[in-house]
Amino acid sequence: MTQATSSSSRPLRVSRAGSPLSGTLSVPGDKSISHRALMFSALAEGKTHITGLLEGEDVLRTADAMRALGAQIVREENGNWHVTGQGLGALTEPADVLDMGNSGTAARLLSGVLASHGIMSVMTGDASLRRRPMKRVTDPLAGTGAVFLAREGGRLPLAIQGNASPAPLDYRLPVASAQVKSAVLLAGLNAEGETRVEEPVPTRDHTENMLRHFGATVQVEQTPEGGRVIRLQGRPKLTARDVVVPGDPSSAAFVVVAALLVPGSDVVIAGVGLNPLRTGLFTTLREMGARLDITNERIEGGEPVGDLHVRASSLQGVDVPADRAPSMIDEYPILAVAAGYATGVSRFRGVEELRVKESDRLASTVALLEQNGVHTKVDGDDLIVFGTAGAIPGGGLVETHMDHRLAMSASVLGLVAQQPVEIDDTAFIDTSFPGYFGLLNQLGAGFAA
Ligand SMILES: O=C(O)C1=C[C@@H](OP(=O)(O)O)[C@@H](O)[C@H](O)C1
Ligand SMILES: C=C(OP(=O)(O)O)C(=O)O
């Protein structure tokens, strides 16, 4: 590993919470939906209004990139955003390198867009993103006729000569990845004919849902093996449509686990997105014995949304099946904290994709727990956590390796550990959850941040 922390790192020491967490709050907008809202509206004709957009650094990188490609993107004073696009195929060549910061979603999805426009572009990212694999998208996207020039191993920086008349793709995903699926579908938007993607295990379907919302024809069929086949008709007329972004369940996850673990807590998180391909953590926590109720369920902006009522609970160890991983892939670090506090042993099966996130999350989650006295074992692609029955020793220094989810997980662990926990850098939390410490402090967490 090269650079492990940002140039202006924000270390933090977290002490045990002195009182229960209580109150009602909302979490910022969904990161996956926010990236897509900006990209798809920039490809549509007309003016789209977006409410609830996540103003995290990852999403702001997507906004900058779409502006550099010719879309007009404006933040209004009331916090709403509007995007004016010129229609499919009308992006213009960027004058400079596109810097996607820390965001895998921005880099992967945009690759599909860039491959299918007749422009030349260069994409880079921060030290974490430059370590992450891009061949998983450039391999299938090369089938469009686009040309990619990358470093050894297919990592950023990446030069892309896009193709104005891309060939449609027919691709079976070798890994369960919504980013790869989305990159292929986005390339297919500007291709004549049908683009087909088969996924062996269903992954988040925000791309399919939102493309339909903007006017594309997307058909989805279940396969007998439990997977899905997605068919997109190329060159649709995409028309501006307003988007309402729900609260991010992956951000709510940290508040939920904090409220479950800090004794006596009682918290409501309003307006959380509950797309069933995102709620694996909530299912798992309930299996562990969590008192987690969903109220006020409704559909907003085409996605299911509800309020989460969480009360502190005694949790038991859990066995999480591998096919649940895509519906909770970003939640394993915080689930590992819950499992470390629980009574009994937990096993998370088939979590190999954690190795290619902002950090190697299998290694960094193990280090987070071990540094703080919780025993773990990696068995092939499974992570095993030996619960401490409410007695996490703490006292460790957590290295977050430019990974927002590690930093937030460490902060929750610190709230319930016996000794204070040191976190080397919390700055990357701003990529997905700006205002995290302030919101938790409103509930009584007492972070010194
Ligand atoms: O499509 C998306 O918006 C995302 C998909 C997931 O990545 P993979 O597709 O690589 O699993 C997830 O980890 C990421 O935070 C967001
Ligand atoms: C993996 C994540 O994001 P990305 O791939 O967009 O960097 C995440 O937010 O946990």
Q: Is there a domain that residue 448 lies in?
A: no
Are 263 and 408 in the same domain? yes
Distance CA 395, CA 439 (A): 25
Are 223 and 298 in the same domain? no
Please identify, by atom number, the ligand 1 atom nearest to the C-alpha of residue 176.
11
Are 254 and 240 in the same domain? no
Are 369 and 406 in the same domain? yes
Q: Which of 64, 330, 424, 425 is catalytic?
A: 330
Q: Which ligand is nearest to the CA of 106?
A: 2
State the residue for tokens 């957590």.
398
Arithmetic mean of pLDDT, 255-266: 98
Q: Is there a domain that residue 61 lies in?
A: yes
Q: Is there a domain that residue 313 lies in?
A: yes
With cut-offs at 50, 70 and 90, classify the pLDDT of residue 7. Answer: low
Are 224 and 281 in the same domain? no
Please identify, by atom number, the ligand 1 atom nearest to the C-alpha of residue 136.
10
Distance CA 406, CA 399 (A): 8
Q: Is there a domain that residue 7 lies in?
A: no
Q: Would you say residue 4 has pLDDT above 70?
A: no
Q: Is there a domain that residue 69 lies in?
A: yes
Say if the ipTM goes beyond 0.85. yes
Q: Which ligand is nearest to the CA of 62?
A: 2
Q: Is 144 in the pocket of ligand 1 (CB under 6 A)?
A: no
Could you report the per-residue pLDDT of 179-222, keeping only the tens digit for each?
Answer: 999 999 999 999 999 999 999 999 999 999 999 999 999 999 99
Residue nearest to atom 9 of ligand 2 (CA): 330
Q: Is 431 in the pocket of ligand 1 (CB under 6 A)?
A: no
Kindly give, in sequence order, each residue whose CB lies less than 8 Å from that of residue 289, ignoring residues fewer than 6 positions away.
313, 314, 315, 316
Are 181 and 75 in the same domain? yes
Q: Is 30 in the pocket of ligand 2 (CB under 6 A)?
A: no
With cut-offs at 50, 70 and 90, classify the pLDDT of residue 1. Answer: very low
Are 22 and 99 in the same domain? no
Q: Is 242 in the pocket of ligand 1 (CB under 6 A)?
A: no
Expressed in angstroms and rounded, the spacing between residue 195 Cα and the centre of ligand 2 is 25
Active site residue 330: yes
Q: Would you say residue 2 has pLDDT above 60?
A: no
Residue nearest to atom 3 of ligand 1 (CA): 32
Residue nearest to atom 8 of ligand 1 (CA): 177
**Is residue 196 marked as binding?**
no
The conformational region for residue 216 under phi > 0 = left, psi -120 to 50 = alpha, else beta, is beta
Domain that holds residue 294: 12-29+246-442
Are 266 and 189 in the same domain? no
Could you report the per-residue pLDDT of 326-368, keeping only the tens digit for each?
Answer: 999 999 999 999 999 999 999 999 999 999 999 999 999 999 9
Are 175 and 313 in the same domain? no
Could you report the per-residue pLDDT of 20-69, keeping only the tens digit for each?
Answer: 999 999 999 999 999 999 999 999 999 999 999 999 999 999 999 999 99
Tokens read off for 19: 């009182």
Q: Is there a domain that residue 2 lies in?
A: no
Q: Is 278 in the pocket of ligand 1 (CB under 6 A)?
A: no
Report the chain's mean pLDDT, rounded to a whole number: 97
Q: Is there a domain that residue 269 lies in?
A: yes
Please identify, by atom number, the ligand 2 atom nearest to the C-alpha of residue 432.
9
Q: Considering 194, 218, 244, which residue would you say is the last residue of a domain?
A: 244
State the residue for tokens 């915080």.
334
Are 274 and 218 in the same domain? no
CATH assignment of the domain containing 94: 3.65.10.10
With cut-offs at 50, 70 and 90, classify the pLDDT of residue 449. Answer: confident
Expressed in angstroms and rounded, the spacing between residue 103 Cα and the centre of ligand 2 is 6
Residue nearest to atom 1 of ligand 2 (CA): 357
Expressed in angstroms and rounded, the spacing between residue 263 Cα and the centre of ligand 2 is 30
Q: Is there a domain that residue 113 lies in?
A: yes
Expressed in angstroms and rounded, the spacing between residue 18 Cα and the centre of ligand 2 is 32
**Is residue 31 marked as binding?**
yes
Q: Considering 200, 227, 244, which residue would you say is the last residue of a domain?
A: 244
Q: What is the CA radius of gyration of the chain?
A: 21
Q: Is 353 in the pocket of ligand 1 (CB under 6 A)?
A: yes
Q: Considering 244, 261, 281, which residue would you say is the last residue of a domain?
A: 244
Q: Is 32 in the pocket of ligand 2 (CB under 6 A)?
A: no
* pLDDT the model gives residue 365: 98
- Please write down the long-range contacts of 149-156, taking CB distance under 8 Å and 24 or more positions apart: 155/130, 155/131, 156/100, 156/107, 156/123, 156/124, 156/125, 156/129, 156/130, 156/132
Distance CA 108, CA 300 (A): 27
Are 185 and 66 in the same domain? yes
| Number of domains the chain is built from | 2
Residue nearest to atom 10 of ligand 1 (CA): 177
Are 233 and 265 in the same domain? no
pTM of the model: 0.98
Q: Is 327 in the pocket of ligand 1 (CB under 6 A)?
A: no
Expressed in angstroms and rounded, the spacing between residue 176 Cα and the centre of ligand 1 is 9
* pLDDT the model gives residue 302: 84
Could you report the per-residue pLDDT of 138-185, keeping only the tens digit for each?
Answer: 999 999 999 999 988 899 999 999 999 999 999 999 999 999 999 999
